[in-house]
Chains A and B, each alone.
Chain A
Amino acid sequence: MAKDQLMDYQKALETYEVVIGLEVHVELNTNTKMFCGCANVFGDEPNTNVCPNCLGFPGAMPAVNGKAIENSIKIGLALDCEIAATGRFARKNYFYPDLAKNFQTSQYDEPIAFEGKIDIEVPSGKVFTVEIERAHMEEDAGKLTHVGGSTGRIQGAEFSLVDFNRAGVPLVEIVTKPIYGAGDEAPELAAAYVRSIREIVKNLGVSDARMERGNVRCDANVSIRPKGQEKLGTRTETKNVNSLRSIERAVKYEIQRQAQLLSQGTAIIQETRHWHEDRGATSSGRPKSDADDYRYFPEPDLVPVQPSKEWIEQLRATLPEKPAIRRKRLQELWGFSDLEFRDVVNSDLLDEIDDTVKAGAKPQAARKWWTGEVARIANSEDKDITELAITPSQVAQIAELVESGKLTDRLAREVLTGVLAGEGDPAEIVAKRGLEVVSDDGALLEAIDKVLAEQPEVLEKIREGKVQAAGAVIGAVMKAMAGSADAARVRELVIQRATEK
């Protein structure tokens, strides 16, 4: 595949203004699908959560999941949207094997929520208000696996296999208005926006919000125009951007690619592009026009949705605090510096640390473990931190063991390794691996006496008041105890012992 030429990022931004638009699909975590009673579960055997409805059999009748409506309204309210007094479902007709009905039941001109806004803070600390155009309800499509060809991608595939377990799972699609003025921070803003949406739906409890499972998916629209030009540039829509890092990279890539083309006098083609994480590039998909004809029409098998004012207000009263407010509260509560707190937010560890603190850990200890050792391991294994087999409660237990002096930092790291290896909870691992700090002074004194006897010259120096000489003894004792001693306690005992003798 021909490699795109990219303009230097800073140079691109000197000449062009960037406009982005984001479409985020959120899969709801209801028990059942949107229009039938099949289970909404990730990872089951293929085609075991299907029925005549989600398989598109003739005569099957859809029935709306009330919980999904409730959750959609909550999302709309959390995004400061108006909730439609009356809304309908519509059929979006298309022929593609990921939906057996040959149409997707969606919403067209009457979305359940519209005209919202959300404040997004980017890593530099600047805050942008992103306007929400609409949030509408629809159903997810089935999962296609392309077989044959060289790459497992659709190009060159010989046939495709379809699993309809996901077909009909409730989705809410959140669409922003065009976002202007983010400048060189447009990529970070896109990622921070998706992070906030993920945080909102997770805190609302309406989605599992796991990007690696496709619970939250983002399509990024990017266009650029020469500075000062009023007319918007031609946009591309990049799909398949399913991690926060990819969103940032994909937006940046498109800016650089489009800038290079425009500077050469080549027109941008309005098209769908696909993001390839492996080579950090987008590639051309199909041309897309605003006039794509999906022959939308109102779904005749479903009646309108007309949420009462009382119902909406009742749901509004259940909303958790907004991300920006929650962040402010947590930072004050935890006493983190701006830098520490931003680091936590940008590492996506806010929820983990919140849960760890709730499980009894001190905020700074929780922060230290998550942003330090746990993040380091995730990084070295090239994994998302949430993929690691450790819970906030386990981190809290480790922190508590260190706090109470039962573990040294070094031993605690070993316990952490054990937890990640699935050996059980920290206390079990301490017992199993015999890791507890030797807090028995008798055993320590025995070791100290032995070392002091071997190093009489050091003993002499300590007696003369040269306390720093004790370091050599402490080191030898720690070594003799195989590290399972608290160095501070050893130091106390060494000095006490030396001056006694």
Chain B
Amino acid sequence: MSEITPELVRHLAGLARIEVTDAEVAQFASQLALIVDSVATVKAAVNDDIKATSHPIPMANVFREDVVRPSLTQAEALSGAAESESGRFKVSAILDAD
């Protein structure tokens, strides 16, 4: 069983700016652990002969025409924002100008 601690879930939720209750933290911790364990199971079955697969169906070169399609309006785009100002999303300042 992987070590997905409640602290780790809270940290991730904080980074993603998602509010979580204690009940949710417990629920997500066990769900995330299950996912990580499943990956570990798959990993154990893989040897050097098996190529990494990112897509289950062997297909390539699926392209879109370079033609503009309607976008959302500014009001629609901002309708789900916690805060907005001058047509932009308003977010907390993060000290890292990268």
- Chain A residues with CB under 8 Å of chain B are 30-32, 36-39, 45-52, 55, 63-69, 86, 88, 95-97, 102, 145-146, 148, 153-155, 157-164, 239, 272, 274, 285-286, 298-300, 302-307
Q: How far is the CA of A69 from the CA of B61 in the complex (A)?
A: 10
Q: Assess whether B52 is interfacial by the CB under 8 Å rule.
A: yes
Q: How far is the CA of A52 from the CA of B69 in the complex (A)?
A: 12
What distance in Å separates the Cβ of B18 from its nearest Cβ neighbour in chain A?
11
Asked whether, in the complex, the Cβ of B54 is within 8 Å of the Cβ of A66, the reply is no
Contacts of B98 in A (CB 8 A): 96, 239, 272, 285-286
Asked whether, in the complex, the Cβ of B68 is within 8 Å of the Cβ of A161, the reply is no
Asked whether, in the complex, the Cβ of B54 is within 8 Å of the Cβ of A299, the reply is yes
Q: Pick the residue among B15, B71, B78 that contacts A38 (CB under 8 A).
A: B71
Q: Pick the residue among A39, A46, A157, A274 that contacts B74 (CB under 8 A).
A: A46
Q: How far is the CA of A38 from the CA of B93 in the complex (A)?
A: 27
Contacts of B90 in A (CB 8 A): 159-162
Contacts of A65 in B (CB 8 A): 63-64, 66
What distance in Å separates the Cβ of A169 from its nearest Cβ neighbour in chain B?
13
Given A161-B85, A305-B61, A37-B67 contact (CB < 8 Å):
yes
What distance in Å separates the Cβ of A439 from its nearest Cβ neighbour in chain B?
52
Q: Assess whether B47 is interfacial by the CB under 8 Å rule.
A: no
Q: Pick the residue among B52, B67, B71, B87 that contacts A51 (CB under 8 A).
A: B71
**Inter-chain pairs besides A55-B72, A65-B66, 4 sampled, C-beta below 8 Å:** A37-B64, A158-B93, A163-B88, A302-B62
Asked whether, in the complex, the Cβ of A306 is within 8 Å of the Cβ of B74, the reply is no
Q: Pick the residue among A31, A86, A154, A307 that contacts B97 (CB under 8 A).
A: A154
Asked whether, in the complex, the Cβ of A47 is within 8 Å of the Cβ of B74, the reply is yes
When A and B form their complex, which 5 residue pairs have the shortest distance between CB atoms, in order from nearest?
A66-B63, A37-B69, A298-B54, A67-B66, A161-B88
17 contacts between A and B (CB under 8 A): A31-B68, A32-B66, A32-B67, A39-B71, A55-B77, A63-B63, A63-B64, A67-B65, A97-B94, A159-B90, A161-B88, A285-B96, A285-B97, A304-B54, A304-B60, A304-B61, A306-B61
Q: How far is the CA of A286 from the CA of B92 in the complex (A)?
A: 19
Given A46-B88, A47-B89, A154-B64 contact (CB < 8 Å):
no
What distance in Å separates the Cβ of A144 from its nearest Cβ neighbour in chain B?
8
Contacts of A306 in B (CB 8 A): 60-61
Contacts of B61 in A (CB 8 A): 303-307
Asked whether, in the complex, the Cβ of A66 is within 8 Å of the Cβ of B86, the reply is no
Docked complex: B28-72 residues within 8 A CB-CB of A: 52, 54-55, 59-69, 71-72
Contacts of B23 in A (CB 8 A): none
Contacts of A49 in B (CB 8 A): 71
Asked whether, in the complex, the Cβ of B67 is within 8 Å of the Cβ of A159, the reply is no
Q: How far is the CA of A272 from the CA of B63 in the complex (A)?
A: 36
What distance in Å separates the Cβ of B89 from its nearest Cβ neighbour in chain A?
4
Contacts of B59 in A (CB 8 A): 303
Q: How far is the CA of A306 from the CA of B87 in the complex (A)?
A: 40
Closest A-chain residue to B86, C-beta based?
A161
Q: Pick the residue among B72, B87, B93 that contacts A45 (CB under 8 A).
A: B87
Q: Assess whether B73 is interfacial by the CB under 8 Å rule.
A: yes
Q: Assess whether B1 is interfacial by the CB under 8 Å rule.
A: no
Contacts of A31 in B (CB 8 A): 66-68
Q: How far is the CA of A394 from the CA of B71 in the complex (A)?
A: 37
Closest B-chain residue to A67, C-beta based?
B66
Closest A-chain residue to B61, C-beta based?
A306
What distance in Å separates the Cβ of B36 from its nearest Cβ neighbour in chain A?
13
Given A31-B66, A67-B66, A303-B59, A97-B89 contact (CB < 8 Å):
yes
What distance in Å separates the Cβ of B2 from its nearest Cβ neighbour in chain A?
16
Asked whether, in the complex, the Cβ of B16 is within 8 Å of the Cβ of A46, the reply is no
Contacts of A50 in B (CB 8 A): 71-72, 77
Contacts of B55 in A (CB 8 A): 300, 303-304
Asked whether, in the complex, the Cβ of A298 is within 8 Å of the Cβ of B92, the reply is no
Contacts of A96 in B (CB 8 A): 94, 96, 98
Q: Pick the residue among A39, A88, A164, A239 that contacts B77 (CB under 8 A).
A: A164
Contacts of B65 in A (CB 8 A): 66-67
Contacts of A148 in B (CB 8 A): 93
